[in-house]
Structure 1
């Protein structure tokens, strides 16, 4: 991510696919917070916001997707109060995500499912399994306004949770009309 020559963490990769720039993100978790890791998260987020503004200003059709490590709203957590002391739910993290939306990025899952509790992460530390009440949506697909009329569907593949030794995250996805109409 441009803006910090001393940043040794590879957290962003970008490719162009059929005329769409796809940026894949792993935004720092930020825990324990407050502290240096949280400060780094917010600085990295500021750089992402700046880069996102550049993409929008240049009119580049794009998707910024991945693990944002941000739970934007209470509907994005099964039990929001459980996360009040966690960097993924801190007001500063949520405000940075809201700034992306204010700049013009669209949360694809919320465009398709505005009122539905959809989750992409579950805590594994629960009695050898995963705690169903720990569900969070912190993996996001933000699309540029130029893709808004092409967005057909969005969701997550939560059924992968039944696989043997699944990840604590499940895939989030979008369907884009390839015709550009």
Structure 2
């Protein structure tokens, strides 16, 4: 089964690009972030015409997450993290799909640091850590996937010396990611490619993609029951 994550940065504006990618890559399950669309404007019928069922947690102009599947029905289990005092931000969606429990997430960016946005990021991250521990206790095959807005190590960022003060690379943020690993989650890509500088995001400017001057901020975290089924990550 092929599972993919895609920060679409506006699901309606990027719908032609998303549609072409779905038809070319043929992922079985997709986790989308940054829908930037209210609940009623999600393009469900179009995605269904491409063979994908969908659930989504929309928000006007900002955030928004969705889970798509062409390998069975999607059974939503949670919308938002437990104990979230600000449920207006659509950043987490959880569902059972084809025998896997999937938590699709869009973790706050947190910039500028220090400041209230960074404080919000850290509080949100702690709620994710707490919920992740509860998910592990179930013993189920669980995937936490999406845009974490975290570069866990210096290997995950081109020229790390430029990022030490950024909210995506701050020591507190990397420590929070390490706490997930310590719980028993497997970083899918790093488990198969422990020493390679593989990135998931490149800036639009300065020819960053051609120079491979990127960041690895999108992650797949696998529970032990799911990690043993991993055979590829890229």
Q: CA deviation at 1:89?
A: 0.3
Q: CA deviation at 1:133?
A: 5.5
Contiguous gaps of at least 5 residues in structure 2? 1-80
SS at match of 1:53: helix
CA distance in 1, matches of 2:160, 2:223: 28
Query: What is the correspondence of 1:5-154 to structure 2 with a 5 Å cutoff?
Result: 5-126=85-206, 129-130=207-208, 132=211, 134-154=213-233
CA distance in 2, matches of 1:117, 1:101: 19
Q: CA deviation at 1:7?
A: 3.2
CA distance in 1, matches of 2:181, 2:125: 13
The 8 Å contact of residues 208 and 214 in structure 2, kept in 1 or not, is answered as no
Residue by residue, what CA displacement relative to the aligned partner does 1:115-146 show, whole Å, maximum 9, x if unpaired?
111000112243xx546364100100000011
CA distance in 2, matches of 1:133, 1:113: 17
The 8 Å contact of residues 32 and 87 in structure 1, kept in 2 or not, is answered as yes
Cα RMSD for the two superposed structures: 1.3
The 8 Å contact of residues 25 and 67 in structure 1, kept in 2 or not, is answered as yes
How many residues are treated as equivalent by the alignment?
Answer: 153
Runs of at least 4 residues off by over 4 Å: none
The 8 Å contact of residues 79 and 133 in structure 1, kept in 2 or not, is answered as no
SS at match of 1:69: coil
Higher RCO structure (Cα 8 Å, ≥6 apart): 1
CA distance in 2, matches of 1:149, 1:86: 34
Distance 1:39 1:148, change over 3 A: same
CA distance in 2, matches of 1:97, 1:7: 23
CA distance in 2, matches of 1:133, 1:119: 8
